[in-house]
Amino acid sequence: MGTPLLPGSTLGVLGGGQLGRMFAQAAQAMGYFTAVLDADAHSPAGLISHHHIRTAYDDAAGLARLAEISDAITTEFENVPAQALRQLAQRRPVAPAASAVAIAQDRAQEKAHFGRCGVPCAPYAVIETAEQLAAVDAALLPGILKTARLGYDGKGQARVKTPAELAAAWDAMGRVPCVLEQMLPLAHECSVIVARGADGQVVHLPAQRNLHRDGILAVTEVYPGNLPDGQVRQAVAAAISIANGLQYVGVLCVEFFVLQDGRLVVNEIAPRPHNSGHYSQNACDVSQFELQVRTLAGLPLTQPRQHSPAVMLNLLGDLWFTQGDAPQAPPWAAVLALPGTHLHLYGKTDPKRGRKMGHLNITAATPEAARTTALRAAELLGIAPF
């Protein structure tokens, strides 16, 4: 990266979703111009950026225009074509690199990378052929069959208990390359977000305790004591090892399973800011999105400091349909009357069930107060208690 890109430069982002929107907001707050490439005329990031290139991710002319406008380019979505990042990198600094994103796009490559880094993951088998299916070790059942590519938020997954169910699930997935993971007895889930600069410097946010429902993150809790100190140290060390092994530049989220016996196994990585890091916007002195700006621009990284215990509630489109089939706005006034509530909506005007519409950060002086307020907010919104 060489000389840092100072405010006044233009930072580009491939993808126009809510993560791109919050990246653009952070960049603009620091004095940068932003450019977004996304085909949707109403994309959340495109609506607020200085430049919106409305083409597909693999459109050569659109990519050339993004490279022309931008001084450096990132991505907000791991399933953008890695080749598009390679093409952009011929003209501009790109972070994260296409090679890192390509590994995150393929579960088999991802798990192989974990092994090279010495970080344990669930026992697994790669299934790409009928012969590999027939050779699956019975000890991996019951398990979860996952498509090797293009799976996120619980999509492209099936739980299987027997060889017959495994074969049927692979057929139902179109016999695409898959990974079968042994189902492990989980106590809970957690994640760590790291930011790594081009100079190899790494900083990290606190470890986040996560609750998923139907494969989608529902609640994140972050405060001292949310996880045992030993688990936190192990998770942070593993996340840094994974980032260093990729020679990663940018913000990386590493998700973990914590087993009932206390062991920690890595689940997957996301080469971008992550839903579980949204609390940092209001609970830390440096958010994950400012870290993304700093890594892309080659600015110095400072270790984030969490100044307030926090709970994050994911706001899905279901909350607009608690009174029937016609969408109605949730009771924002009642929610915002609660102390320490911070509402972040993504500019999506069409609520749909399961669609991520926003998130609510709750901060307080103590973990107990943050949880109490979060539970009251959840009750007002129609979110199940946790």
* Rounded Cα–Cα distance for residues 245 and 235 (Å): 15
Residue 1 annotated as binding site: no
Pairing of strands 33-37, 51-53: parallel
The token duo for 78 is: 């791991």
Is 356 annotated to bind a ligand? Reply is: no
223 annotated as a binding-site residue: no
Q: Is 181 annotated as a binding residue?
A: yes
Q: Is 28 exposed, middle or buried (0-12, 13-18, 19+ CB in 10 A)?
A: middle
Distance CA 258, CA 231 (A): 8
On whether 40 is known to bind a ligand per the annotation, the reply is no
Annotated ligand binding at 153? The verdict is yes
Does residue 294 have a known ligand-binding role? no
Q: How far apart are CA 225 and CA 51, in angstroms?
A: 43
What amino acid occupies position 63?
L
Residue that is written with structure tokens 């809970």 in the block: 188
- Residue 307: name the closest of 224, 371, 229, 369 by CA: 224
Confirm if 79 and 152 have CB atoms less than 8 A apart: yes
Is 189 marked as a binding-site residue? Answer: yes
- Is 157 one of the annotated binding-site residues? yes
Residue 288 annotated in ligand binding: no
Q: Is 268 annotated as a binding residue?
A: yes
Residue 124 is assigned to a ligand binding site: no
What 3-state class would DSSP assign to 47?
helix
Q: Is residue 76 a known part of a binding site?
A: no
Torsion angles phi and psi, residue 7, rounded to 5: -50, 140
Asked if 17 and 76 count as a contact pair (C-beta separation under 8 A), the reply is: yes
- The reply, when asked if residue 155 is annotated as ligand binding, is yes
247 assigned to a ligand binding site: no
- Binding-site residues sit at 107, 146, 151-157, 181-184, 189, 212, 267-268
- Binding-site residues for ATP sit at 107, 146, 151-157, 181-184, 189, 212, 267-268
